[in-house]
Structure 1
């Protein structure tokens, strides 16, 4: 599978990426890939071990004469976001990713590509395998479950890593280097809501909102793209005068992906159907107009369903739930005054579900300020407490405070100028890189993050610009060699 990847340059990197595409690795199912990489390390004569959580480390001794160079850690995560188009059945725990090339970009057929963070992992493996590279002590750290909980980084063993410089390979823009990122937390809301039997004349109907682009809930949060859960609440409020009651609901699949689709089953009187359809048609035009130029594919449909339903939320419970979700924070909350052009605080209404009266919401709050993350969580608790729901915060992780004058950053900037003739843009990202967590466990580390040009991450539109991968590889390889040179700052200066 994916044999065409072997023809791309740099060949060593793309061959490893082919292995990752052919080995299913959604979050929580990385075991097969870990075993594959351990077998590869054995064949290469590389030392390898795991910490108690299962994070994998591969080690390579320094080239002769480079033993005193500062140790370099190449870091990425093994898991990928599992998103597929509704019309493309795909079992991410069993099926390989099928890739193809179009107009200089590598894409996947109907699914996420896994370039996030598969290309970073592949680049680290290619560095370890390169027999011509002159380097100091090398470690490759591959973490687990980054996309769902940051679990691997949060549970990373302390006192395990040996290096002083960490190169995070999980960024998505060529010509840029990242030195800071937002922290975040999952906000989980749950409730058991009252139901009542469908009355005579009420029938179940299926309401669908589809066609949105989706995307990364941090990087794409300020683009103005639609959030299916937020938009569906507008639709449900528009249908409230028709007496519609919620039977069940499913919107979004991952808390860190902008939801592209939402589906609801409604109890609706048959004689209200024509009015509901008219309201739906008008609202569809209104929403498409609002999203023009950003997310124009939205479609709404209300159809009869073959499924049987005995009960729906009571009219009061349905009304209160829809209103609470409509009022919930969603999207950009505040832009940063310290870092112009960067989102400071945001929230993604990622996954909403209702079944047999059981309601569950998982939202992902991000902020450059940990206090703002907590405040947003408190707002959820206050709002949903009004309908009797319980709110808790899970998987909280800190942000990564920028160090704009670090020697490592200066080395990268000089190399970027020498190789590409341009100054890299130094950035802070509104996304959850693992660097903040790793820096908390290893405060002595100097860290930067860079990568190839990836677009549409966390959605089936994910793609990577092929030329940027070679540029990324040459920068990474050059930096590893540069950090091992005798003329580089000594280990103390780089610590």
Structure 2
């Protein structure tokens, strides 16, 4: 199946992508892909370094005639988001990604594809391996753990990199040149709840929200897609008087809009008709609201094969439901400076209720630090009123746009020359590593671009074949046009 991928153009990129996707590379479990990348650099005979946190740096000298050009860093991250459909049998820890061609798209079979940021990694590998592509002295920087904390970029110490220009290959629209991004902070709310014996003469049910698109909690948040956790909470709120929560699990990753949520609930038999009536009303209302966006949405309940013995006491249940209802989710503020850019947002990403403990995990993003903290403080206030303990962690900075960037002028002019139209120069609401890297390399001129990738962070992830060719041609032209070093 993956052999079809190897025959796509540009073969130099798609072959490296197939090699990379054969290596399991979940975030925080990158040992195998680190070894893979070190072996790749060493086999080419280049200086290859693994730093203290696991980032891999490979240095390649300038090609003949390019020695006087400004040295560059080409950067992408090694890890990938792991999401799969419920009916897909796949072990991300042991299996390589299974890919197939669908028209102009490369997709995976029921899982994320890893084009985010695997196509960037593969492109850099192709440049390193090439013998006929002119380029200045370059350092390939392959960072780890971008998707679950950006700890690789955070751990990269100053002074290791020698380049003066950074090309980040992690943007997902081929007509876009990225000049800024959002920062983020993880907001986690936890509490212990009291539980009691399930009522007598009651039945246990599984309540499920499923079939949502999900997607990237930064790039896709503006689309207004359904969040399984907030939908589940609406159902629980509507039926709260006649149900008891035993367990709940919603969402799987902080940076993915949750696609599914499953609750174990207990209903006293005498209240069944009242529950069914209210459930049907609220489920129909939610499905109608999202009928244009979420065509595969299902909100269902069925009798559980395993009866629940204990449930959350009503006072704690009410506080939980009201807290989730009050917590902001989705777009919080649009940018007044850049048209159509989300400035600040929150994703209620994961909720877990089990064995007397509740955990709610959110990822708050903003391109403005004060607005990010404002929203984080709002969430803290909401959950504190609900008797939760709240912590902030994993905070990372945004990347402020520099419209006078010399490398921006190079890319902007080249794009117009190649395609006869202007590129879309923009900041994005995703978290790129440029802002973090800029803390230790403040003088480095940075830019971000990449091929078209849709549905990142979801099993619908797909990469455009024609766009990858366009991107590859653009990369080669950029390398030829890197300006000379300043004296």
Indicate whether the TM-score tops 0.5: yes
Deviations 1:154-187 (A, max 9, x none): 1112111110000000000011101000111110
> Does 2:416 align with 1:412?
no
DSSP-derived class of the 2:339 partner: coil
Deviations 1:310-342 (A, max 9, x none): 211101111110110111010000101011110
Q: 2:141 matched to which residue of 1?
A: 141
> Does 2:56 align with 1:70?
no
Equivalent residues in 2 for 1:192-341, closer than 5 Å:
192-242=192-242, 244-341=243-340
Judge conservation of contact 1:224–1:291 (CA < 8 Å) in 2: no
Q: 1:118 matched to which residue of 2?
A: 118
Deviations 1:412-456 (A, max 9, x none): 111112222221110110110111101111001111100011100
> Does 2:486 align with 1:492?
yes
Q: Which stretch of structure 1 is more off in the superposition, 174-183 or 381-390? A: 381-390
Q: Which stretch of structure 1 is more off in the superposition, 416-425 or 123-132? A: 416-425
Counterpart Cα distance in 1 of 2:335 and 2:417: 32
> Does 2:50 align with 1:50?
yes
DSSP-derived class of the 1:258 partner: coil
Counterpart Cα distance in 2 of 1:417 and 1:60: 29
Counterpart Cα distance in 1 of 2:108 and 2:165: 33
Q: 1:150 matched to which residue of 2?
A: 150
Equivalent residues in 2 for 1:17-28, closer than 5 Å:
17-28=17-28
Judge conservation of contact 2:238–2:278 (CA < 8 Å) in 1: yes
DSSP-derived class of the 2:222 partner: coil
DSSP-derived class of the 1:65 partner: coil
Judge conservation of contact 2:5–2:101 (CA < 8 Å) in 1: no
Counterpart Cα distance in 2 of 1:15 and 1:464: 14
DSSP-derived class of the 1:479 partner: helix
Deviations 1:367-387 (A, max 9, x none): 011111112221222111123
Q: 1:354 matched to which residue of 2?
A: 353
Judge conservation of contact 1:277–1:302 (CA < 8 Å) in 2: no
Counterpart Cα distance in 2 of 1:391 and 1:492: 49
Counterpart Cα distance in 1 of 2:447 and 2:121: 16
Equivalent residues in 2 for 1:85-96, closer than 5 Å:
85-96=85-96
Judge conservation of contact 2:38–2:50 (CA < 8 Å) in 1: no
Counterpart Cα distance in 1 of 2:95 and 2:270: 46
Deviations 1:462-488 (A, max 9, x none): 0011000010011111101211xxxx3
Structure 1, unaligned runs of 5 or more = none
Counterpart Cα distance in 2 of 1:388 and 1:52: 40
Counterpart Cα distance in 1 of 2:414 and 2:134: 16
Q: 2:99 matched to which residue of 1?
A: 99
Counterpart Cα distance in 2 of 1:433 and 1:17: 21
Counterpart Cα distance in 2 of 1:414 and 1:383: 48
Counterpart Cα distance in 2 of 1:288 and 1:198: 31
Counterpart Cα distance in 2 of 1:289 and 1:187: 31
> Does 2:471 align with 1:477?
no
DSSP-derived class of the 1:350 partner: strand
Q: Which stretch of structure 1 is more off in the superposition, 338-347 or 60-69? A: 60-69
How far has the Cα of 1:271 moved from its partner? Answer: 2.2
Q: Which runs of structure 1 show a deviation greater than 6 angstroms over 4 or more consecutive aligned residues?
A: none
Counterpart Cα distance in 1 of 2:202 and 2:463: 49
Judge conservation of contact 2:177–2:423 (CA < 8 Å) in 1: yes
CA RMSD of aligned residues (A): 1.2
Counterpart Cα distance in 2 of 1:271 and 1:23: 54
Q: 1:41 matched to which residue of 2?
A: 41
Judge conservation of contact 1:280–1:300 (CA < 8 Å) in 2: no
Judge conservation of contact 1:452–1:465 (CA < 8 Å) in 2: yes
Judge conservation of contact 2:49–2:56 (CA < 8 Å) in 1: yes
TM-score of the superposition, structure 1-length normalised?
0.97
Counterpart Cα distance in 1 of 2:122 and 2:275: 52
Counterpart Cα distance in 2 of 1:144 and 1:43: 21
Counterpart Cα distance in 2 of 1:174 and 1:292: 30
Counterpart Cα distance in 2 of 1:232 and 1:286: 13
Q: 1:443 matched to which residue of 2?
A: 442
DSSP-derived class of the 1:359 partner: strand
Q: Which stretch of structure 1 is more off in the superposition, 463-472 or 275-284? A: 275-284
Aligned residues: 487
Q: 1:32 matched to which residue of 2?
A: 32
